[in-house]
Amino acid sequence: MLTYTIRRLILAIPTLLFISFIIFLIVKLSPSDPTAGLPLTIPPEVREQIRQSLGVNDPILIQYFKWLKLMMWDEPLHLIEGWTGWNVAPEGGARIISYQTRSPVMDLIIQRMPQTLWVVGTSYIVGILIALPLGIISAYKQYSIFDQVGTFISMVGFSVPTFFTGVLFIVIFAVNLGWFPSVYNTTHVVTDWDSFVVQLKQIIMPVMVLGLYNASQISRYMRASMLDNLNQDYVRTARAKGLNEKVVVLVHVLRNSMIPVVTVIALNIPAVFGGAIITEQVFKVNGIGQLLIIAIQGGDVPVVQTVSFIFAVLIVLFNLLADVLYGVLDPRIRYD
């Protein structure tokens, strides 16, 4: 397993290099100007000097290799220095700078990361906690009322886009009932019980919107996988030996059924970040998704390139994680 993991990590390097070049090329070829947000009183020659200082007029390949060096080497060193206090980053070294804010892109991402992780992480955990029992019970009680209701809710939750669900939740629970705030206050700090209740109220709607979508997809996979295993010979053998029904279902069947579900859970984590882009816009969560939308609207090429590449890294890493978890869940699967 260790050899396989190391081999996959090595193979991930050319994959990420190719993805980084495609992302850089697509975003760079889009119409954008780093001086577009500056006042109109700035003369054209000054604007040209700004473009020259940012390297916009350099050949595409030169720009790509400069950006790749900053992304792969300089920015990680600055992150290590910021987290540990070690003086490892080059003093006065170049950074990936946002066109709009004129500040390092990584600093913007780190500032907004806690809000995104708080909303996305909580919603994914809630979705998994709902999906697994729902899928297990639906499969065990196939064609029952519980199964039919669960299937209907899952199909609706998976089919309806999150932006529509978010607006619907705002109309019902914020406007009509007044139970929860419609806007997520990212400046709110939890200091006591009352402030914790406020935080809980404002996070419920975005978490439930994303959680419903995640639970709908995962529960369908859980149900289908359970149904495939419930009719296998080893299940009949376990029951014939007199094993308790809970042991048969929750130990033997569930462990084998979790193999494809783990893939969905692992591979969906980057997709959840993508889905959070829309949800953050609906509820005004000041996270990475909102940062990406603002950057796209303002033509902020460095921010779009960096955030997109981070999403690509997440996809590659969680693909590897899913493959490794295969061997943990099923001893028959070996890669070495």
Q: Is 266 a domain residue?
A: yes
Please report, for the domain that includes residue 227, its CATH number: 1.10.3720.10
Task: Tell me the mean pLDDT in the region 44-65.
Answer: 78
Task: Tell me the mean pLDDT in the region 40-47.
Answer: 76
pLDDT tens track for 99-145 = 777 788 888 888 888 888 888 888 888 889 999 999 889 888 888 89
If phi > 0 it is left, if psi is from -120 to 50 it is alpha, else beta; for residue 33 that is: beta
- Domain with 117 in it: 112-329
Q: Is 25 a domain residue?
A: no
pLDDT tens track for 193-244 = 888 888 888 888 888 888 888 888 888 888 998 888 888 888 888 888 888 8
Q: Is 10 a domain residue?
A: no
How far does Cα 238 stand from its chain's mean position? 39
Name, in order, each residue with C-beta under 8 angstroms of 41's C-beta and a sequence gap of 6 or more. Answer: none
Please state the domain count of the chain.
1
State the CB neighbour count (10 A cutoff) for residue 166: 22
